[in-house]
Chain A
């Protein structure tokens, strides 16, 4: 493992997962450099705009993954893009790593400061700028989360539908190419980011589609916007994102249906999509997950693969959609098709899906949950789920499954005892097997969560050495000194 001193490797895994230790810059060179720049940071961001406090650094060294905390040497709180640029210039001059931090809700350890460095905490840049209602676009700064944006938009009849679950920073969602339960109808961040303002490693400020531009489509030059979407902070600091908005649906209907088998549930999904039903959400929960949800929320769903569906549209349109979907599920052996339009009943029907994360953890109190994230072509979904469930049983692992079946993406919520190194190791091997299973089926090792720290080797297997070489070439060109969030996405070069 990289960057670890002898004293750290001697500490048990338990401590590594549960505690985050103060990181002294063992590197005396780094300590001297830091001393020199701290006053410059203060003069850029103000007295309150910088923190060396242990608690603050720890807070900014971890996210919601199982990766241990890797705190930065210092945290800065810029208030505008000019400050971000000035800070970047200082870091560039002194070769200090730069790690961007939005809300810390990532799932792949992307904010860990592997080699220390400066964390740019962007929460004070929280303006919603330039809402254009008739054009369905808005520009936001990194401190704006998706719930804050949707609350701001509530009077306008517009919303931003990408919903990864957490109340994440929208610029952070752009950086990790986030997705969510709505992707089957509204797309992921890739389809919904129109323009980005980015600060590069040397402080240069660029606009990937040109400053202030927001045409609905363009064929002007290289698609830099989508180069930075999903770059996980390794190419630049995203300081503004222009987003595509949608009309709030007039009517929403939710439905639930049980199936005798995984195949039946997935077949229904494929047929619903082929019938052209513009389904908004189609979520799969396996029998283990349903059982967990029944216990946790006191429900009584039949313990069998289940689909949770949501339809958006006008009153007439949703009625039609529901009726067609009900016919399809019935023809695949689906039973107990229930649906509702009013908010209270809809929430009750979907309660199982909403509480899934907590229900999974409640299966083994005291344990932590880790989510896998593979995505395969739809036709391969039944096979991969069946094989994965076999793997879980054979290896005595707890892994209820929840999936965005409309995208061929599913998550095994691995519930592990963080104090048991053998179990942790077993889960680690399981997720590698699962990722390779997905790769063998023309899929990807990460549908929505990103590569971060944990999937770098799998990325090499997924895209192959030539493509990795090209990715490395781009990184070397855009960030020649490897200062932007080092050691994420791409493995460090062998020296």
Chain B
């Protein structure tokens, strides 16, 4: 086995930011807004780095698809312990329309090119909440998938994955190469410390375009409209039970 793990990291609007919808309802405001690595991708990177520290794998490669600024996200992954980065450059309208299908095609192509033993992704991104990229990547590669992982252990050429499912926890054992997606309780990601950020500046980040991998990023989806959730209306206080019943009847509730 190559001992190489591919980790996908996505640049998203920071979780603490108050999201605002553009006045023309075409999307959300991203200009001048703080961005950072998707929290589930942080967990994926941490898991890969932990595997390397345990000497179970040899190399961690961080991949991001997006504009110039995605390089910052790759640098954060490098500061957390990834060895090198691949930036697949997608910008402008192509970037606005980039979704799980195109990204999974890119990741599948890279997984083959890099002879990855594992592809570890976050279970979903906090901006689109799709929860599709991991599953699509596995399907395109025809590899087994261990999604919503809360525990991962390598056992020879197989992986044991404990998955968080509605009913509780499901433990599966799958062959490698495989695709895993990280859930919240898999680990606690480390902070990037200053010395590691300095070291990360010297690690290699390779630049390429989707076409270099034979992938067409044309989208088959059209976003019609983006709206904010409805504003919460003020409640009404009533003095007596009769008033309450009256109001409920008025609004047709009873």
Contacts and interface: CB of A to CB of B under 8 A. Distances in A.
A442 B83 CA distance: 56
Interface stretch (B103-111, B133-141, B157-165, B191-199): B191-199
B188 interface: yes
Contacts of B197: 156-157
B194 A248 contact: yes
Interface in B5-47: 14, 16, 34, 36-37
B34 A158 contact: no
A158 B194 contact: yes
Interface of A: 148, 151-152, 154-159, 247-250, 314, 343
A157 B191 contact: yes
Given A152-B34, A155-B76, A157-B79, A250 B195 contact: yes
Contact of A157 (B14, B36, B72, B192): B192
A155 B37 CA distance: 9
A135 to B, nearest CB: 13
B165 to A, nearest CB: 24
Q: Determine which residue in B16, B193, B195 has the highest number of CB atoms from chain A within 10 A of its CB, and name it.
A: B193
A83 B165 CA distance: 50
Interface residues of B, number: 16
Nearest to A154: B191
Given A152-B34, A156-B192, 16 more contacts: A148-B16, A152-B16, A154-B36, A154-B192, A155-B76, A157-B191, A157-B192, A157-B193, A157-B197, A158-B194, A247-B193, A247-B194, A248-B191, A249-B193, A250-B195, A343-B188
Interface string B153-192: 0000000000000000000000000000000000010011
27 contacts: A148-B16, A151-B16, A152-B16, A154-B36, A154-B191, A154-B192, A155-B36, A155-B37, A155-B72, A155-B76, A156-B192, A156-B197, A157-B79, A157-B191, A157-B193, A157-B196, A157-B197, A158-B194, A247-B193, A247-B194, A248-B191, A248-B192, A248-B193, A249-B193, A250-B195, A250-B196, A343-B188
Given A157-B79, A157-B196, A250-B193, A152 B188 contact: no
A156 B188 CA distance: 18
A248 B189 CA distance: 14
Contacts of A249: 193
Contacts of A159: 191
Interface in B75-98: 76, 79
Contacts of A155: 36-37, 72, 76, 192
Contacts, number: 36
B194 A157 contact: yes
Nearest to B14: A152
B41 to A, nearest CB: 12
A250 B37 CA distance: 20
B203 to A, nearest CB: 15
Contacts of A247: 193-194
Contacts of A314: 195
Contacts of B34: 152
A-B residue pairs, 3 tightest by C-beta: A157-B194, A247-B194, A157-B197
Contacts of B14: 152
A159 B194 CA distance: 11
B39 to A, nearest CB: 10
Contacts of B192: 154-157, 248
A158 B195 CA distance: 11
Nearest to B191: A248
B44 to A, nearest CB: 16
Interface string B38-68: 0000000000000000000000000000000
A314 B196 CA distance: 11
B64 to A, nearest CB: 14
Contacts of A250: 193, 195-196
Q: Determine which residue in A148, A155, A314 has the highest number of CB atoms from chain B within 10 A of its CB, and name it.
A: A155
B62 to A, nearest CB: 14
Contacts of A151: 16
A56 to B, nearest CB: 13
A247 B79 CA distance: 14
Contacts of B72: 155
A249 B72 CA distance: 21
A412 B176 CA distance: 57
A154 B79 CA distance: 12
A154 to B, nearest CB: 6
B32 to A, nearest CB: 12
Nearest to B200: A157
Contacts of A343: 188
Nearest to A314: B195
A148 B15 CA distance: 11
Nearest to A249: B193
Contacts of A156: 192, 197
